[in-house]
Structure 1
Amino acid sequence: MLKLNQVHHIAIICSDYERSKRFYTEVLGLKIVREVYREARQSYKLDLIVGDRYQIELFSFPSPAPRPSRPEAAGLRHLAFEVDALDEAVFHLKEFGVEAEPIRVDEFTGKRFTFFTDPDGLPLELYEV
């Protein structure tokens, strides 16, 4: 039987590297682990750390193909971030001009959550614990 230990990283391809870099570092506050430019691919790769455990790899490629981004499109539905205080997190997003959907309550866990999008329309979620 295959034994998976944990999620190692999440890879995201962006359409505007500088815009997405600002969003993930300044708006979401993720820390940069490493940034490299790969000449052969004409691509940046930015490694970001979430908390002290998970890593997001932000890639830039020339002319990436568009993809469906609504939460109900086939493929990855969304990326969820755990927060302690949802109201504070939503207020923080608004300070940067990022609009979140109205806060909802998970009918099974009773926990509050909301969705918003990154600069390319990738659905992101804040989930309060």
Structure 2
Amino acid sequence: MPIKNVVVNCTDVQRSVEYYTKFLELRVVGEPTPQRAVLDAVTATIELRAVGNGRDQSTWSPDDLQKGFRHIGFKVDRLDERADVLKAAGVEFKLDPLDAEGEVRICFFYDPDGTLLEMIQGDLQYAAVLDADGVARERALGVPRRPRLDHVAVTIEDRAATSDYYHEHYGFSFIGTIEQPHDQRGFSIGYLKGGDTVLEVFTYEVDKTSREPQLDVAGFAYAELAGDPPTDLTTATAPDGTSVYVDPDGFAFAVGSEA
């Protein structure tokens, strides 16, 4: 089952709509309001919600050793051309375009309220393929005509436990790994595929920090998965009353039907 929707809190919905439609070619669904807008990202939607608390109120850190949400990734064509447009507009980058492990090209940058985004170009060449059919389905998606939501990345403590949980409850398949041999922290990435989307899970062999999800400040709020509500996780309530579940690593998600 896929990631259906990603909720991103923002201090100015119209500004964020303009950002995501201009730089990532997401398409507006329905009629935006000052409080909310929904954007089509091909394989899922990005939902922008207004909050009063800005980036300075967030406890999220760009240090990948903080467990929980890390970034939202979009598969793109013409990555360098797109990055040049972002840079010309003064968008803040965390990582300039480069060739990465797995024979892909990537870059990282921030949205207007500090949510970290990634663009990735090319098909990953996995260090280990664990589900050949899943990898084949991923590659069958082809080169996107416009940027599509590819993954949500999280830092976790225990890859096996995370893989087992999201497979059992939400049907995600562990399709492969990418290793980072030059990273002295013992960095490895696992890919859990659900439908046309992926949970990208970071593991490290060094100590990590934790944070409680913040549903009422600017930045990533939660992802929405297709499936049934869990019965074994801590719950929180979003400002609009949505029940949100928090896994042991602090990753927040809601659930809904596949329709």
Whether the 8 Å contact between 2:76 and 2:121 is mirrored in structure 1 is yes
Residue number in structure 2 paired with 1:103: 97
* 1:23 shift after superposition: 1.1
CA change 1:71–1:123 in 2 (3 A) is farther
Distance in 1 (CA, whole Å) between partners of 2:119 and 2:44 is 16
* 1:31 shift after superposition: 0.8
Distance in 2 (CA, whole Å) between partners of 1:27 and 1:85 is 12
* 1:76 shift after superposition: 0.8
1:9 aligns with 2:1: no
CA change 1:67–1:14 in 2 (3 A) is farther
1:29 aligns with 2:25: yes
Higher mean C-alpha deviation, range 115-124 or range 13-22: 13-22
CA change 1:15–1:75 in 2 (3 A) is farther
* 1:91 shift after superposition: 1.6
Whether the 8 Å contact between 1:27 and 1:96 is mirrored in structure 2 is no
Residue correspondence of structure 1 range 1-129 to structure 2 within 5 A: 5-35=1-31, 37=33, 44-51=35-42, 53-63=43-53, 65-72=57-64, 73-100=66-93, 101-107=95-101, 109-129=102-122
| TM superposition score normalised by structure 2 | 0.41
Structure with more relative contact order (C-alpha pairs < 8 Å, separation 6 or more): 2
Residue number in structure 2 paired with 1:40: none
* 1:17 shift after superposition: 2.2
Cα RMSD (Å): 2.1
CA change 1:77–1:47 in 2 (3 A) is same
Distance in 2 (CA, whole Å) between partners of 1:45 and 1:21 is 10
Structure 1 ranges of 4+ moved more than 3 A: 62-65
Q: Give the paired residue count.
A: 118
Distance in 2 (CA, whole Å) between partners of 1:93 and 1:75 is 27
Distance in 1 (CA, whole Å) between partners of 2:58 and 2:9 is 10
Distance in 2 (CA, whole Å) between partners of 1:15 and 1:34 is 20
What secondary structure sits across from 1:24 in the alignment? helix
Larger Rg: 2
What secondary structure sits across from 1:35 in the alignment? coil
| TM superposition score normalised by structure 1 | 0.78
Identity across the alignment (%): 33
CA change 1:15–1:71 in 2 (3 A) is farther
